[in-house]
Amino acid sequence: MTKPNLGTLIIIGGHEDKAGDRVILNEVARRARDDGGRLVVVTAATQLPEEVAEDYRAAFGDLGIKHIDMLDVRTRAEAHEAALVDKVKAARVIFFTGGDQLRITSQLGDSPLFQALLETYHTGGTLVGTSAGAAAMPGTMLISGPSDASSKLPSLGMAPGLGLMPDAVIDSHFAERGRIGRLLGAVAQNPRNLGIGIDEDTAIVVERGICFDVIGSGAVYVVDGSDISYSSLCETDADGVISIDDVRLHVLGTGDQYDLIARRPVR
């Protein structure tokens, strides 16, 4: 079987700048211009699709994108509609907005629309997600859990994601909502998964599933549990804090690069 020519994932921590320097949206727009000038914005995650669509239509219009298709999926049946699938097939850059990540996976998962998205990615296209759109990208998806608190197993909600980064779990609005505790807890549940926390107005640009670069105004936190020597996950009582020994943490800023294969920053 021929190995797919994986494209690019741009995974944003939410609240990306839409009016100032717009570093992240400029990167998305550049890729859309280079790939034919067409962009699809998927508003399936939000309960306010018209308002969100208008915000992105204005932002990307200001950045010179002339062909912007809005794609809203309210029901799973719509993810089977040929007209919506054709919109995805016509674009090489597809952008998932914020909202509720479970709406993305439950409405789109393994549908003809999702298969078209996957084909775009597997043939060198670019998929972008912000906030809930970011959380839905990996194989394991964080869907709930308190911020500003140490991790307790019953407090974490996890679900299968879209699988575009198979061995990862991603949390957005990271520093702003104090989410280090819940990301550590998510990694402790399966140390094979690399935990990636992304601040607002910050993104990772993942090339071919091999490495990522950091862009934007904040930080990216990488939690690597591969050397964890002990966790109390199976021992703690229902109300206990999860204890973890020998977890590795990297903090990366704009311009930094991380090797996903070696699990090391590139210096």
Q: Tally helices (H) and strands (E) across the chain.
A: 7, 17
67 is catalytic: no
Burial 48-59 (b: 16+ CB within 10 A, else e): ebeebbeebbeb
Q: Which of 65, 74, 110 is nearest to 92 (CA)?
A: 65
Distance from C-alpha of 114 to C-alpha of 1, rounded to nearest angstrom: 21
Give the angle 212-217-218 at the CA atoms, nearest 5°. 70
DSSP, collapsed to helix, strand or coil, labels residue 233 as coil
Residues 6+ apart with CB under 8 A from 114: 79, 108, 162
Determine which one of 111, 131, 151, 172 is catalytic.
131
Contact 215, 241 (CB under 8 A): no
Determine which one of 27, 151, 173, 231 is catalytic.
173
111 is catalytic: no
200 is catalytic: yes
Determine which one of 16, 172, 200, 231 is catalytic.
200
State which amino acid sits at residue 223.
V
* Beta carbons within 10 angstroms of residue 104's beta carbon: 26
Residues 6+ apart with CB under 8 A from 58: 18
Distance from C-alpha of 122 to C-alpha of 77, rounded to nearest angstrom: 24
Could you give the residue numbers annotated as active site?
Answer: 131, 173, 200
